[in-house]
């Protein structure tokens, strides 16, 4: 997608992080947020080896994904530049049993600088809900591939460009849906403008860096297109529905988010 002329090359989240962190935390801790974490964790379990792995979570936010991976026995380093979110992550980790909490390390810094901050050779590199705030994702993608060990996995979650018109239409915003279809772009996210992607475009960029796609999933095919919040009583059934739909065409193509798993090639770059 052509980069909008009004957007200079910058990180749209970092530019307004303090104002956005509280809203992000409220959303991430909601039922809809928990559905996302459940689906991503299931997808990772399909591809991670059956042994403790070294994991780095770039833009790991308040640490929820890191804790879920640490509970499964993995050593997780969270890299995030947002002080508010890192404080929330520290509180979340502190509430876990010691054997889980000691597996999580929190590091403040930008993802693009992560190879210098935390080293390389990770079995799994996560970057969830970060690329959508980058007007130029190139430097971040390069850093993510560098972080991975040869044969290591990359896990990327971002906004699906093909979902916006469906979302607007199902919410009764006919003009918005029409504008999105004609413009083929995203007018704005929940907190600030976002840069959507497609699994195909992102996959091509990663393949060009030596990390071809292994599998991709739709995340929140149904629940993210509704205005009402799912109830806790619906959580188990909703997660199973979303999981099954996110595995299948055509449903996964209309999911609000997509989760792409790639693998760095064995040959050194």
In a domain, 25, yes or no: yes
Question: What is the rounded distance in angstroms from the CA atom of residue 182 to the CA atom of residue 5?
Answer: 18
Residue 172 belongs to a domain = no
Q: Domain for residue 166, yes or no?
A: no
- For 134-177, what is each residue's pLDDT tens digit? 999 999 999 999 999 999 999 999 999 999 899 899 999 999 99
Find, among 192, 184, 191, 222, the residue nearest to 31 by Cα: 222
81: exposed, middle or buried (Cβ count in 10 Å: 0-12, 13-18, 19+): middle
Q: Give the residue numbers spanning the domain of 147.
A: 14-160+189-263
Which CATH number do you get for residue 244?
3.40.50.150
Residue 244 lies in a domain: yes
Confidence band (pLDDT; 50, 70, 90) for 266?
A: low
Q: Residue 134 has which token pair?
A: 């980058």
14-33 per-position pLDDT tens digit? 555 555 677 777 777 788 89
Say what the pLDDT of residue 8 is. 42
Domain count, the chain: 1
Query: Has residue 177 been placed in a domain?
Result: no
The verdict on residue 135 lying in a domain is yes
Q: What is the pLDDT of residue 39?
A: 98
- Does residue 79 form part of some domain? yes
Q: Is residue 3 part of a domain?
A: no
Range 114-118 average pLDDT: 98
With H, G, I as helix, E, B as strand and everything else as coil, classify residue 227: coil
Short-list 161, 160, 156, CA closest to 260: 156
pLDDT digits (tens, 9 = 90+) for 171-197: 999 999 999 888 755 555 554 568 899
Indicate yes or no: pTM above 0.75: yes
């Amino acid at each position: 997608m052509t980069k909008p002329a009004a957007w200079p090359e910058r990180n749209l989240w970092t530019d307004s992080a303090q104002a956005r962190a509280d809203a992000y935390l409220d959303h991430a801790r909601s039922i809809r947020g928990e559905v996302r974490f459940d689906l991503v964790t299931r997808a990772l379990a399909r591809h991670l080896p059956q042994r403790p792995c070294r994991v780095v979570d770039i833009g790991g936010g308040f640490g929820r994904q890191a804790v879920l991976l640490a509970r499964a026995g993995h050593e997780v380093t969270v890299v995030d530049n947002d002080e508010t979110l890192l404080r929330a992550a520290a509180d979340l980790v502190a509430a876990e049993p010691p054997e889980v909490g000691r597996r999580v390390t929190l590091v403040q810094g930008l993802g693009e600088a992560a190879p210098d901050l935390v080293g390389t050779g990770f079995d799994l590199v996560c970057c969830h809900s970060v690329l959508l705030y980058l007007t130029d994702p190139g430097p971040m993608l390069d850093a993510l591939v560098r972080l991975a060990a040869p044969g290591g996995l990359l896990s990327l979650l971002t906004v699906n460009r093909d979902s916006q018109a469906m979302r607007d239409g199902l919410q009764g915003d006919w003009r918005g849906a029409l504008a999105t279809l004609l413009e083929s772009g995203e007018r704005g996210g929940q907190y600030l403008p976002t840069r959507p992607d497609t699994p195909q475009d992102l996959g091509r960029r990663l393949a060009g860096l030596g990390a071809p796609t292994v599998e991709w999933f739709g995340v929140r095919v149904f629940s993210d297109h509704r205005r009402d919040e799912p109830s806790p009583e619906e959580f188990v059934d909703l997660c199973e529905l979303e999981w099954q739909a996110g595995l299948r065409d055509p449903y996964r193509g209309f999911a609000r988010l997509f989760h792409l798993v790639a693998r760095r090639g064995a040959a050194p770059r």
